[in-house]
Structure 1
Protein backbone atom coordinates (compact mmCIF):
# COMPACT_ATOMS: atom_id res chain seq x y z
CA UNK A 1 0.00 0.00 0.00
CA UNK A 2 2.85 2.37 0.80
CA UNK A 3 6.29 2.78 -0.72
CA UNK A 4 9.24 5.05 0.07
CA UNK A 5 8.09 7.63 -2.51
CA UNK A 6 4.77 7.92 -0.66
CA UNK A 7 6.57 8.34 2.65
CA UNK A 8 8.95 11.00 1.32
CA UNK A 9 6.02 12.85 -0.21
CA UNK A 10 3.95 12.89 2.95
CA UNK A 11 6.89 13.71 5.23
CA UNK A 12 7.55 16.76 3.02
CA UNK A 13 3.88 17.78 3.22
CA UNK A 14 3.83 17.32 7.00
CA UNK A 15 6.91 19.55 7.38
CA UNK A 16 5.38 22.38 5.31
CA UNK A 17 3.08 25.17 6.54
CA UNK A 18 0.88 24.93 3.43
CA UNK A 19 0.31 22.88 0.30
CA UNK A 20 1.91 25.68 -1.72
CA UNK A 21 5.05 25.47 0.44
CA UNK A 22 5.04 21.68 0.09
CA UNK A 23 4.81 22.08 -3.69
CA UNK A 24 7.84 24.38 -3.67
CA UNK A 25 9.87 21.92 -1.58
CA UNK A 26 8.89 19.06 -3.90
CA UNK A 27 9.40 21.11 -7.09
CA UNK A 28 5.88 20.40 -8.36
CA UNK A 29 2.71 22.44 -8.80
CA UNK A 30 0.21 22.92 -5.91
CA UNK A 31 -2.53 21.05 -7.85
CA UNK A 32 -0.17 18.08 -8.23
CA UNK A 33 0.38 18.02 -4.46
CA UNK A 34 -3.36 18.22 -3.80
CA UNK A 35 -4.12 15.43 -6.26
CA UNK A 36 -1.42 13.13 -4.87
CA UNK A 37 -2.49 13.77 -1.28
CA UNK A 38 -6.08 12.91 -2.12
CA UNK A 39 -4.95 9.77 -3.89
CA UNK A 40 -2.87 8.73 -0.88
CA UNK A 41 -5.81 9.29 1.50
CA UNK A 42 -8.08 7.29 -0.81
CA UNK A 43 -5.67 4.36 -0.95
CA UNK A 44 -5.14 4.34 2.81
CA UNK A 45 -8.83 5.06 3.52
CA UNK A 46 -7.87 7.62 6.19
CA UNK A 47 -8.00 11.41 6.44
CA UNK A 48 -4.43 12.69 6.87
CA UNK A 49 -4.58 16.49 6.66
CA UNK A 50 -7.10 19.18 7.57
CA UNK A 51 -6.83 22.20 5.26
CA UNK A 52 -7.87 25.66 6.39
CA UNK A 53 -7.09 29.29 5.71
CA UNK A 54 -4.44 29.09 8.45
CA UNK A 55 -2.53 26.28 6.76
CA UNK A 56 -2.24 22.56 7.29
CA UNK A 57 -3.09 20.56 10.40
CA UNK A 58 -2.29 16.86 10.59
CA UNK A 59 -4.98 14.50 11.83
CA UNK A 60 -4.05 11.83 14.36
CA UNK A 61 -3.54 9.43 11.45
CA UNK A 62 -1.45 12.04 9.67
CA UNK A 63 0.74 12.53 12.75
CA UNK A 64 1.24 8.78 12.96
CA UNK A 65 2.19 8.46 9.30
CA UNK A 66 4.58 11.44 9.46
CA UNK A 67 6.32 10.22 12.62
CA UNK A 68 6.64 6.58 11.57
CA UNK A 69 7.47 7.65 8.02
CA UNK A 70 10.43 9.76 9.20
CA UNK A 71 11.70 6.83 11.27
CA UNK A 72 11.37 4.37 8.39
CA UNK A 73 13.02 6.73 5.91
CA UNK A 74 15.82 7.34 8.37
CA UNK A 75 16.41 3.60 8.76
CA UNK A 76 16.25 3.13 4.99
CA UNK A 77 18.76 5.93 4.39
CA UNK A 78 21.02 4.54 7.13
CA UNK A 79 21.04 1.17 5.35
CA UNK A 80 21.85 2.75 2.00
CA UNK A 81 24.63 4.83 3.57
CA UNK A 82 26.13 1.81 5.33
CA UNK A 83 26.16 -0.28 2.15
CA UNK A 84 27.61 2.59 0.12
CA UNK A 85 30.35 3.23 2.68
CA UNK A 86 31.39 -0.43 2.49
CA UNK A 87 32.49 0.17 -1.08
CA UNK A 88 33.76 3.71 -0.49
CA UNK A 89 30.88 5.39 -2.34
CA UNK A 90 29.25 8.67 -1.32
CA UNK A 91 25.58 8.66 -2.28
CA UNK A 92 22.16 9.83 -1.14
CA UNK A 93 20.22 13.07 -0.88
CA UNK A 94 21.86 16.09 0.77
CA UNK A 95 19.62 19.07 1.60
CA UNK A 96 21.49 22.27 2.43
CA UNK A 97 20.23 25.67 3.61
CA UNK A 98 22.50 28.73 3.48
CA UNK A 99 22.15 32.55 3.69
CA UNK A 100 21.43 34.33 0.42
CA UNK A 101 24.59 36.38 -0.18
CA UNK A 102 27.02 34.08 1.60
CA UNK A 103 25.45 31.04 -0.01
CA UNK A 104 25.79 32.46 -3.51
CA UNK A 105 29.42 33.45 -3.03
CA UNK A 106 30.88 30.74 -0.80
CA UNK A 107 28.55 27.72 -0.63
CA UNK A 108 27.22 27.30 -4.17
CA UNK A 109 30.74 26.86 -5.70
CA UNK A 110 31.52 24.14 -3.13
CA UNK A 111 28.23 22.41 -3.94
CA UNK A 112 29.10 22.42 -7.66
CA UNK A 113 32.58 20.99 -7.05
CA UNK A 114 31.24 18.40 -4.60
CA UNK A 115 28.58 17.22 -7.05
CA UNK A 116 31.23 16.83 -9.75
CA UNK A 117 33.39 14.79 -7.39
CA UNK A 118 30.48 12.71 -6.05
CA UNK A 119 27.86 12.34 -8.82
CA UNK A 120 25.94 9.81 -6.72
CA UNK A 121 24.84 12.56 -4.32
CA UNK A 122 21.70 14.54 -5.18
CA UNK A 123 21.91 18.03 -3.65
CA UNK A 124 19.20 20.59 -2.92
CA UNK A 125 20.55 24.04 -1.99
CA UNK A 126 18.03 26.47 -0.54
CA UNK A 127 19.22 30.06 -0.07
CA UNK A 128 17.31 31.95 2.60
CA UNK A 129 17.98 34.49 5.34
CA UNK A 130 15.08 33.10 7.39
CA UNK A 131 16.62 29.91 8.74
CA UNK A 132 14.47 29.97 11.87
CA UNK A 133 11.34 29.72 9.74
CA UNK A 134 12.48 26.63 7.83
CA UNK A 135 11.63 23.38 9.70
CA UNK A 136 14.79 21.48 10.62
CA UNK A 137 13.15 18.29 9.37
CA UNK A 138 13.41 19.63 5.81
CA UNK A 139 17.21 20.02 5.74
CA UNK A 140 20.27 17.95 6.63
CA UNK A 141 22.80 20.76 6.92
CA UNK A 142 22.35 24.50 7.45
CA UNK A 143 25.04 27.16 7.14
CA UNK A 144 24.54 30.04 9.57
CA UNK A 145 26.47 33.33 9.77
CA UNK A 146 26.18 35.19 13.08
CA UNK A 147 25.25 34.60 16.68
CA UNK A 148 23.04 31.66 17.56
CA UNK A 149 20.64 33.26 20.00
CA UNK A 150 18.62 30.19 20.96
CA UNK A 151 20.41 26.87 21.31
CA UNK A 152 18.36 23.87 20.20
CA UNK A 153 19.35 20.55 21.81
CA UNK A 154 18.39 18.63 18.67
CA UNK A 155 20.93 20.54 16.56
CA UNK A 156 24.68 19.96 16.44
CA UNK A 157 26.85 23.03 15.83
CA UNK A 158 30.14 22.75 13.93
CA UNK A 159 32.45 25.76 13.64
CA UNK A 160 33.56 26.52 10.07
CA UNK A 161 35.24 29.94 9.92
CA UNK A 162 35.74 33.17 11.89
CA UNK A 163 34.04 36.29 10.60
CA UNK A 164 33.91 39.76 12.13
CA UNK A 165 31.36 42.52 11.66
CA UNK A 166 32.78 45.85 10.47
CA UNK A 167 31.48 49.42 10.61
CA UNK A 168 32.32 51.26 7.41
CA UNK A 169 31.37 53.93 4.88
CA UNK A 170 32.60 55.14 1.51
CA UNK A 171 35.24 57.89 1.15
CA UNK A 172 32.61 59.95 -0.71
CA UNK A 173 30.30 59.85 2.31
CA UNK A 174 33.15 60.72 4.69
CA UNK A 175 34.06 63.81 2.68
CA UNK A 176 30.63 65.19 3.56
CA UNK A 177 30.40 63.79 7.13
CA UNK A 178 33.40 63.61 9.50
CA UNK A 179 34.14 60.08 10.68
CA UNK A 180 32.65 59.30 14.13
CA UNK A 181 35.11 59.09 17.02
CA UNK A 182 32.71 57.36 19.43
CA UNK A 183 29.69 55.10 18.84
CA UNK A 184 27.31 57.73 20.25
CA UNK A 185 28.21 60.04 17.34
CA UNK A 186 26.51 57.63 14.95
CA UNK A 187 23.22 59.23 15.99
CA UNK A 188 24.29 62.22 13.89
CA UNK A 189 25.05 60.08 10.82
CA UNK A 190 22.95 58.57 8.07
CA UNK A 191 22.92 54.84 8.78
CA UNK A 192 21.87 51.93 6.58
CA UNK A 193 20.46 48.81 8.24
CA UNK A 194 20.27 45.20 7.08
CA UNK A 195 17.18 43.33 8.20
CA UNK A 196 18.16 39.69 8.83
CA UNK A 197 17.62 36.84 11.29
CA UNK A 198 14.77 38.73 13.01
CA UNK A 199 17.33 40.94 14.79
CA UNK A 200 16.78 44.46 16.18
CA UNK A 201 18.50 46.04 13.19
CA UNK A 202 18.76 49.61 14.45
CA UNK A 203 20.36 48.78 17.82
CA UNK A 204 24.10 48.61 17.19
CA UNK A 205 26.33 47.18 19.93
CA UNK A 206 29.99 48.05 20.43
CA UNK A 207 32.65 46.90 22.88
CA UNK A 208 35.61 49.12 23.75
CA UNK A 209 39.15 47.88 24.35
CA UNK A 210 38.55 48.00 28.13
CA UNK A 211 35.51 45.74 27.72
CA UNK A 212 32.86 48.40 28.27
CA UNK A 213 29.79 47.91 26.10
CA UNK A 214 28.00 50.76 24.38
CA UNK A 215 24.67 50.45 22.58
CA UNK A 216 23.49 52.99 20.06
CA UNK A 217 20.01 53.29 18.59
CA UNK A 218 20.66 54.59 15.07
CA UNK A 219 18.18 56.34 12.83
CA UNK A 220 18.28 54.17 9.71
CA UNK A 221 17.22 56.18 6.69
CA UNK A 222 17.60 53.11 4.48
CA UNK A 223 16.74 49.51 5.39
CA UNK A 224 16.83 46.38 3.24
CA UNK A 225 16.78 42.61 3.74
CA UNK A 226 19.35 42.15 0.96
CA UNK A 227 23.02 42.46 1.90
CA UNK A 228 24.08 43.26 -1.67
CA UNK A 229 21.64 46.17 -1.75
CA UNK A 230 22.92 47.53 1.58
CA UNK A 231 26.54 47.26 0.45
CA UNK A 232 25.67 48.96 -2.86
CA UNK A 233 24.05 51.86 -1.04
CA UNK A 234 27.17 52.29 1.09
CA UNK A 235 29.43 52.19 -1.98
CA UNK A 236 27.25 54.90 -3.51
CA UNK A 237 28.00 57.15 -0.52
CA UNK A 238 24.53 57.01 1.02
CA UNK A 239 25.51 56.16 4.60
CA UNK A 240 27.26 54.03 7.24
CA UNK A 241 26.78 50.26 7.36
CA UNK A 242 27.62 47.30 9.56
CA UNK A 243 28.53 44.34 7.37
CA UNK A 244 30.26 41.02 7.69
CA UNK A 245 33.96 40.89 7.00
CA UNK A 246 33.40 38.30 4.25
CA UNK A 247 31.26 40.80 2.32
CA UNK A 248 33.32 44.01 2.55
CA UNK A 249 36.95 42.90 2.96
CA UNK A 250 37.77 43.41 -0.74
CA UNK A 251 36.12 46.85 -0.72
CA UNK A 252 38.14 47.88 2.34
CA UNK A 253 41.42 46.75 0.80
CA UNK A 254 40.62 48.52 -2.47
CA UNK A 255 39.65 51.72 -0.67
CA UNK A 256 36.06 51.66 -1.89
CA UNK A 257 34.98 51.54 1.78
CA UNK A 258 36.73 52.84 4.90
CA UNK A 259 36.64 51.14 8.27
CA UNK A 260 35.32 53.25 11.16
CA UNK A 261 35.71 53.14 14.98
CA UNK A 262 38.61 50.70 14.94
CA UNK A 263 38.95 51.01 18.70
CA UNK A 264 35.57 49.32 19.13
CA UNK A 265 34.49 45.77 18.31
CA UNK A 266 31.09 44.72 17.06
CA UNK A 267 29.62 41.29 17.91
CA UNK A 268 31.35 38.70 15.77
CA UNK A 269 29.43 36.66 13.21
CA UNK A 270 31.16 33.26 12.97
CA UNK A 271 30.28 30.87 10.17
CA UNK A 272 28.91 27.60 11.56
CA UNK A 273 27.19 24.49 10.27
CA UNK A 274 24.06 23.15 11.94
CA UNK A 275 23.33 19.45 11.63
CA UNK A 276 19.71 18.41 11.81
CA UNK A 277 20.11 15.14 13.68
CA UNK A 278 22.63 12.57 14.86
CA UNK A 279 21.80 10.31 11.91
CA UNK A 280 22.42 13.05 9.37
CA UNK A 281 25.64 14.12 11.06
CA UNK A 282 27.01 10.58 10.66
CA UNK A 283 26.16 10.27 6.95
CA UNK A 284 29.23 10.11 4.72
CA UNK A 285 27.83 12.68 2.30
CA UNK A 286 27.34 15.20 5.12
CA UNK A 287 30.80 14.69 6.60
CA UNK A 288 32.46 14.83 3.19
CA UNK A 289 30.62 18.05 2.31
CA UNK A 290 31.64 19.61 5.64
CA UNK A 291 35.25 18.68 4.89
CA UNK A 292 34.95 20.34 1.47
CA UNK A 293 33.53 23.49 3.07
CA UNK A 294 36.34 23.65 5.61
CA UNK A 295 38.93 23.27 2.87
CA UNK A 296 37.32 26.15 0.97
CA UNK A 297 37.86 28.34 4.06
CA UNK A 298 41.58 27.50 4.39
CA UNK A 299 42.90 30.07 3.88
CA UNK A 300 39.93 32.30 4.57
CA UNK A 301 38.83 33.84 1.25
CA UNK A 302 38.00 37.17 2.92
CA UNK A 303 41.40 37.36 4.61
CA UNK A 304 43.52 35.76 1.90
CA UNK A 305 41.92 36.52 -1.47
CA UNK A 306 42.80 34.29 -4.40
CA UNK A 307 44.14 35.18 -7.81
CA UNK A 308 42.11 34.11 -10.86
CA UNK A 309 44.18 30.91 -11.02
CA UNK A 310 43.03 29.99 -7.48
CA UNK A 311 46.33 30.65 -5.71
CA UNK A 312 46.06 32.45 -2.36
CA UNK A 313 47.88 35.75 -2.24
CA UNK A 314 48.82 38.24 0.48
CA UNK A 315 45.69 40.30 1.12
CA UNK A 316 47.50 43.24 2.64
CA UNK A 317 46.00 45.24 5.49
CA UNK A 318 42.38 46.32 5.69
CA UNK A 319 42.43 50.10 5.29
CA UNK A 320 41.74 51.91 8.56
CA UNK A 321 39.27 54.74 9.00
Structure 2
Protein backbone atom coordinates (compact mmCIF):
# COMPACT_ATOMS: atom_id res chain seq x y z
CA UNK A 1 0.00 0.00 0.00
CA UNK A 2 1.17 3.56 -0.74
CA UNK A 3 3.44 4.84 2.05
CA UNK A 4 1.98 8.34 2.05
CA UNK A 5 -1.55 6.99 2.28
CA UNK A 6 -0.66 4.80 5.26
CA UNK A 7 0.86 7.84 7.01
CA UNK A 8 -2.35 9.77 6.41
CA UNK A 9 -4.35 6.86 7.78
CA UNK A 10 -2.11 6.62 10.86
CA UNK A 11 -2.44 10.34 11.67
CA UNK A 12 -6.21 10.20 11.08
CA UNK A 13 -6.70 7.21 13.42
CA UNK A 14 -4.62 8.94 16.11
CA UNK A 15 -6.61 12.17 15.73
CA UNK A 16 -10.06 10.57 15.53
CA UNK A 17 -9.47 7.85 18.11
CA UNK A 18 -10.76 5.02 15.97
CA UNK A 19 -10.61 3.28 12.60
CA UNK A 20 -14.22 3.96 11.60
CA UNK A 21 -13.97 7.68 12.39
CA UNK A 22 -10.66 7.91 10.51
CA UNK A 23 -12.23 6.18 7.51
CA UNK A 24 -15.09 8.71 7.47
CA UNK A 25 -12.61 11.58 7.63
CA UNK A 26 -10.55 10.18 4.76
CA UNK A 27 -13.53 9.10 2.64
CA UNK A 28 -12.38 5.50 2.88
CA UNK A 29 -13.68 2.33 4.55
CA UNK A 30 -12.79 0.89 7.98
CA UNK A 31 -11.34 -2.33 6.47
CA UNK A 32 -9.10 -0.29 4.16
CA UNK A 33 -7.83 1.80 7.08
CA UNK A 34 -7.28 -1.34 9.16
CA UNK A 35 -5.25 -2.88 6.33
CA UNK A 36 -3.26 0.34 5.91
CA UNK A 37 -2.30 0.50 9.60
CA UNK A 38 -1.39 -3.19 9.57
CA UNK A 39 0.84 -2.63 6.53
CA UNK A 40 2.51 0.36 8.20
CA UNK A 41 3.13 -1.60 11.43
CA UNK A 42 4.56 -4.51 9.44
CA UNK A 43 6.87 -2.16 7.53
CA UNK A 44 8.05 -0.48 10.75
CA UNK A 45 8.25 -3.71 12.73
CA UNK A 46 6.36 -2.30 15.71
CA UNK A 47 2.82 -1.91 17.06
CA UNK A 48 1.51 1.65 16.82
CA UNK A 49 -1.90 1.25 18.49
CA UNK A 50 -3.36 -0.56 21.47
CA UNK A 51 -6.66 -1.96 20.18
CA UNK A 52 -9.74 -2.95 22.17
CA UNK A 53 -13.43 -3.31 21.41
CA UNK A 54 -14.07 0.12 22.97
CA UNK A 55 -11.07 2.28 22.13
CA UNK A 56 -7.87 2.72 20.16
CA UNK A 57 -4.85 4.32 21.83
CA UNK A 58 -1.30 5.03 20.73
CA UNK A 59 1.51 2.86 22.05
CA UNK A 60 4.72 4.52 23.23
CA UNK A 61 6.21 3.86 19.79
CA UNK A 62 3.10 5.31 18.20
CA UNK A 63 3.40 8.50 20.26
CA UNK A 64 6.98 8.97 19.06
CA UNK A 65 6.13 8.21 15.43
CA UNK A 66 3.05 10.47 15.39
CA UNK A 67 5.02 13.71 15.64
CA UNK A 68 7.34 12.60 12.82
CA UNK A 69 4.42 11.57 10.62
CA UNK A 70 2.63 14.88 11.20
CA UNK A 71 5.81 16.75 10.32
CA UNK A 72 6.25 14.77 7.08
CA UNK A 73 2.68 15.48 5.99
CA UNK A 74 2.95 19.16 6.97
CA UNK A 75 6.20 19.57 5.04
CA UNK A 76 4.66 17.94 1.99
CA UNK A 77 1.61 20.20 2.18
CA UNK A 78 3.88 23.23 2.49
CA UNK A 79 5.90 22.18 -0.54
CA UNK A 80 2.73 21.75 -2.57
CA UNK A 81 1.51 25.20 -1.56
CA UNK A 82 4.81 26.73 -2.63
CA UNK A 83 4.62 25.03 -6.03
CA UNK A 84 1.07 26.32 -6.51
CA UNK A 85 2.45 29.84 -6.19
CA UNK A 86 3.77 31.63 -3.12
CA UNK A 87 2.43 34.94 -4.42
CA UNK A 88 -1.11 33.70 -4.93
CA UNK A 89 -4.11 35.62 -3.59
CA UNK A 90 -5.06 34.63 -0.01
CA UNK A 91 -7.87 32.10 -0.18
CA UNK A 92 -9.26 28.95 1.34
CA UNK A 93 -9.84 28.54 5.07
CA UNK A 94 -7.53 30.15 7.62
CA UNK A 95 -7.83 28.56 11.09
CA UNK A 96 -6.83 30.87 13.96
CA UNK A 97 -6.82 30.69 17.75
CA UNK A 98 -6.29 33.42 20.35
CA UNK A 99 -7.20 34.32 23.94
CA UNK A 100 -10.84 35.41 24.10
CA UNK A 101 -10.49 39.14 24.82
CA UNK A 102 -7.31 39.63 22.77
CA UNK A 103 -9.03 37.90 19.87
CA UNK A 104 -12.09 40.11 20.16
CA UNK A 105 -10.12 43.35 20.51
CA UNK A 106 -7.21 42.76 18.12
CA UNK A 107 -7.63 39.64 15.96
CA UNK A 108 -11.25 40.09 14.89
CA UNK A 109 -10.68 43.59 13.41
CA UNK A 110 -7.76 42.23 11.36
CA UNK A 111 -9.87 39.29 10.21
CA UNK A 112 -12.62 41.69 9.15
CA UNK A 113 -10.18 43.68 7.02
CA UNK A 114 -8.76 40.54 5.38
CA UNK A 115 -12.22 39.16 4.58
CA UNK A 116 -13.18 42.48 3.00
CA UNK A 117 -10.01 42.48 0.87
CA UNK A 118 -9.97 38.82 -0.23
CA UNK A 119 -13.24 37.33 -1.46
CA UNK A 120 -11.80 33.79 -1.70
CA UNK A 121 -10.73 33.73 1.96
CA UNK A 122 -12.71 32.23 4.84
CA UNK A 123 -11.65 32.24 8.50
CA UNK A 124 -12.38 29.93 11.38
CA UNK A 125 -11.56 31.39 14.82
CA UNK A 126 -11.20 29.54 18.12
CA UNK A 127 -11.20 32.12 20.93
CA UNK A 128 -10.30 30.33 24.14
CA UNK A 129 -8.31 31.22 27.26
CA UNK A 130 -6.07 28.18 27.17
CA UNK A 131 -3.27 27.03 24.91
CA UNK A 132 -4.37 24.48 22.32
CA UNK A 133 -2.13 21.98 20.54
CA UNK A 134 -1.47 23.69 17.23
CA UNK A 135 -0.38 20.74 15.09
CA UNK A 136 -2.96 18.30 16.43
CA UNK A 137 -5.84 20.78 16.08
CA UNK A 138 -4.82 21.81 12.56
CA UNK A 139 -4.34 25.45 13.58
CA UNK A 140 -2.74 27.73 10.99
CA UNK A 141 -1.76 30.56 13.38
CA UNK A 142 -2.06 30.86 17.16
CA UNK A 143 -1.69 34.00 19.28
CA UNK A 144 0.30 33.27 22.44
CA UNK A 145 0.90 35.69 25.30
CA UNK A 146 3.85 34.98 27.60
CA UNK A 147 7.13 33.09 27.48
CA UNK A 148 7.31 30.36 24.85
CA UNK A 149 8.53 26.82 25.35
CA UNK A 150 11.10 25.50 22.93
CA UNK A 151 9.47 23.92 19.90
CA UNK A 152 9.80 23.51 16.17
CA UNK A 153 7.11 26.13 15.61
CA UNK A 154 7.96 29.52 14.10
CA UNK A 155 7.29 32.56 16.32
CA UNK A 156 6.76 36.14 15.15
CA UNK A 157 6.56 38.77 17.88
CA UNK A 158 3.90 41.43 17.33
CA UNK A 159 4.26 43.30 20.61
CA UNK A 160 4.14 43.06 24.39
CA UNK A 161 1.57 43.52 27.15
CA UNK A 162 1.94 44.34 30.82
CA UNK A 163 0.54 42.88 34.01
CA UNK A 164 -1.61 45.44 35.83
CA UNK A 165 -3.25 45.48 39.24
CA UNK A 166 -6.54 47.39 39.15
CA UNK A 167 -9.40 48.26 41.47
CA UNK A 168 -12.44 50.51 41.26
CA UNK A 169 -12.52 53.99 42.85
CA UNK A 170 -15.31 52.75 45.14
CA UNK A 171 -13.27 49.82 46.43
CA UNK A 172 -10.24 52.04 47.10
CA UNK A 173 -12.43 54.57 48.91
CA UNK A 174 -13.60 51.82 51.28
CA UNK A 175 -10.34 49.90 51.72
CA UNK A 176 -7.57 52.33 50.82
CA UNK A 177 -4.95 51.93 48.11
CA UNK A 178 -1.93 49.66 48.75
CA UNK A 179 1.36 51.55 48.80
CA UNK A 180 3.48 48.42 48.26
CA UNK A 181 3.20 44.73 47.49
CA UNK A 182 3.12 43.81 51.18
CA UNK A 183 0.01 45.99 51.61
CA UNK A 184 -1.95 43.61 49.38
CA UNK A 185 -2.21 41.27 52.36
CA UNK A 186 -5.63 41.82 53.84
CA UNK A 187 -7.16 43.18 50.62
CA UNK A 188 -9.85 41.33 48.68
CA UNK A 189 -8.03 39.80 45.72
CA UNK A 190 -9.80 38.61 42.59
CA UNK A 191 -8.15 35.64 40.94
CA UNK A 192 -8.86 34.64 37.33
CA UNK A 193 -8.44 31.26 35.67
CA UNK A 194 -6.68 30.38 32.42
CA UNK A 195 -3.05 30.21 31.21
CA UNK A 196 -1.99 32.85 33.77
CA UNK A 197 -3.91 31.23 36.63
CA UNK A 198 -1.57 30.69 39.55
CA UNK A 199 -1.45 30.95 43.30
CA UNK A 200 1.31 33.55 42.82
CA UNK A 201 1.22 37.15 41.65
CA UNK A 202 4.64 38.17 40.35
CA UNK A 203 6.35 41.50 40.94
CA UNK A 204 9.76 43.05 40.34
CA UNK A 205 10.88 42.22 43.87
CA UNK A 206 9.41 38.72 44.02
CA UNK A 207 6.02 37.14 44.26
CA UNK A 208 2.97 37.21 46.49
CA UNK A 209 1.08 34.06 47.35
CA UNK A 210 -2.57 34.99 46.86
CA UNK A 211 -4.33 31.77 47.88
CA UNK A 212 -4.90 32.94 51.44
CA UNK A 213 -6.05 36.42 50.43
CA UNK A 214 -8.32 35.71 47.48
CA UNK A 215 -12.03 36.19 48.11
CA UNK A 216 -13.19 35.46 44.58
CA UNK A 217 -12.04 33.25 41.69
CA UNK A 218 -13.59 33.82 38.25
CA UNK A 219 -13.15 31.57 35.22
CA UNK A 220 -13.18 34.32 32.56
CA UNK A 221 -11.31 37.58 32.07
CA UNK A 222 -14.59 39.39 31.44
CA UNK A 223 -15.87 38.11 34.77
CA UNK A 224 -12.78 39.23 36.69
CA UNK A 225 -12.95 42.62 34.99
CA UNK A 226 -16.63 43.03 35.84
CA UNK A 227 -15.98 42.03 39.46
CA UNK A 228 -13.19 44.61 39.76
CA UNK A 229 -15.39 47.34 38.25
CA UNK A 230 -18.15 46.38 40.70
CA UNK A 231 -15.80 47.09 43.61
CA UNK A 232 -15.37 43.48 44.73
CA UNK A 233 -11.57 43.64 45.05
CA UNK A 234 -8.21 44.02 43.32
CA UNK A 235 -7.68 42.13 40.05
CA UNK A 236 -4.46 41.13 38.30
CA UNK A 237 -5.07 41.48 34.56
CA UNK A 238 -3.20 42.43 31.40
CA UNK A 239 -2.88 45.93 29.98
CA UNK A 240 -4.99 45.30 26.88
CA UNK A 241 -7.75 43.80 29.03
CA UNK A 242 -8.12 46.86 31.29
CA UNK A 243 -7.10 49.69 28.93
CA UNK A 244 -10.65 50.86 28.20
CA UNK A 245 -11.82 50.69 31.83
CA UNK A 246 -8.72 52.50 33.13
CA UNK A 247 -9.03 55.14 30.42
CA UNK A 248 -12.68 55.72 31.37
CA UNK A 249 -11.86 55.96 35.09
CA UNK A 250 -13.86 52.87 36.08
CA UNK A 251 -10.64 51.21 37.27
CA UNK A 252 -7.43 52.62 38.72
CA UNK A 253 -3.97 51.15 38.12
CA UNK A 254 -2.13 50.18 41.31
CA UNK A 255 1.60 49.72 42.07
CA UNK A 256 2.82 50.31 38.49
CA UNK A 257 6.48 50.50 39.59
CA UNK A 258 6.27 47.01 41.12
CA UNK A 259 5.02 45.23 37.99
CA UNK A 260 7.25 42.59 36.33
CA UNK A 261 8.72 42.99 32.82
CA UNK A 262 6.25 43.01 29.91
CA UNK A 263 5.05 39.73 28.40
CA UNK A 264 5.68 39.03 24.70
CA UNK A 265 2.79 38.56 22.28
CA UNK A 266 3.71 36.08 19.52
CA UNK A 267 2.12 34.50 16.51
CA UNK A 268 2.95 30.79 16.34
CA UNK A 269 2.68 28.59 13.26
CA UNK A 270 4.33 25.65 11.59
CA UNK A 271 7.27 26.70 9.36
CA UNK A 272 5.64 24.84 6.46
CA UNK A 273 2.68 27.25 6.64
CA UNK A 274 4.83 30.37 6.37
CA UNK A 275 4.49 30.52 2.59
CA UNK A 276 0.71 30.12 2.63
CA UNK A 277 -0.68 33.42 1.26
CA UNK A 278 -3.41 33.65 3.88
CA UNK A 279 -0.91 33.10 6.71
CA UNK A 280 1.49 35.68 5.29
CA UNK A 281 -1.31 38.22 4.93
CA UNK A 282 -2.56 37.62 8.48
CA UNK A 283 0.92 37.83 10.05
CA UNK A 284 1.71 41.08 8.23
CA UNK A 285 -1.64 42.60 9.23
CA UNK A 286 -1.19 41.61 12.89
CA UNK A 287 2.32 43.08 12.98
CA UNK A 288 0.93 46.35 11.61
CA UNK A 289 -1.90 46.37 14.16
CA UNK A 290 0.58 45.74 16.96
CA UNK A 291 2.59 48.75 15.77
CA UNK A 292 -0.47 51.01 15.42
CA UNK A 293 -2.01 50.01 18.77
CA UNK A 294 1.24 50.31 20.71
CA UNK A 295 1.57 46.63 21.63
CA UNK A 296 5.17 46.99 22.61
Range moving further from structure 2, 232-241 or 54-63: 54-63
Q: CA deviation at 1:35?
A: 6.8
Aligned: 1:255 with 2:249: yes
Task: Call closer, same or farther: CA 1:281–1:13 in 2, change over 3 Å.
Answer: farther
Match of 1:40 in 2: 29
Matches within 5 A, 1:148-227: 148=148, 151-197=149-195, 199=196, 201-207=198-204, 213-218=205-210, 219-227=213-221
More helix by share: 2
- The gaps in structure 2 that reach 5 residues or longer are 38-48
Alignment partners' CA distance in 2, 1:61 and 1:217: 41
Any idea what SS the aligned residue of 2:263 has? coil
Aligned 8 A contact 2:164 2:236 in 1? yes
Any idea what SS the aligned residue of 1:143 has? strand
Task: Call closer, same or farther: CA 1:160–1:36 in 2, change over 3 Å.
Answer: same
Match of 2:83 in 1: 82
Give the structure-1-normalised TM-score: 0.73
CA RMSD of aligned residues (A): 3.6
Aligned: 1:294 with 2:294: no
- The gaps in structure 1 that reach 5 residues or longer are 20-31, 208-212, 304-321
- Greater relative contact order: 1 or 2 (C-alpha under 8 angstroms, separation 6 or more)? 2
Task: Call closer, same or farther: CA 1:172–1:71 in 2, change over 3 Å.
Answer: same
Q: CA deviation at 1:61?
A: 9.1
Matches within 5 A, 1:140-155: 140-148=140-148, 151-155=149-153
Count of residues in Structure 1 that have an aligned counterpart in Structure 2: 280
Matches within 5 A, 1:101-112: 101-112=101-112
Alignment partners' CA distance in 2, 1:58 and 1:293: 37
Aligned 8 A contact 2:12 2:22 in 1? no
Any idea what SS the aligned residue of 1:168 has? strand
Deviations 1:283-321 (A, max 9, x none): 332121100112222321679xxxxxxxxxxxxxxxxxx
Give the structure-2-normalised TM-score: 0.79
Match of 1:57 in 2: 57
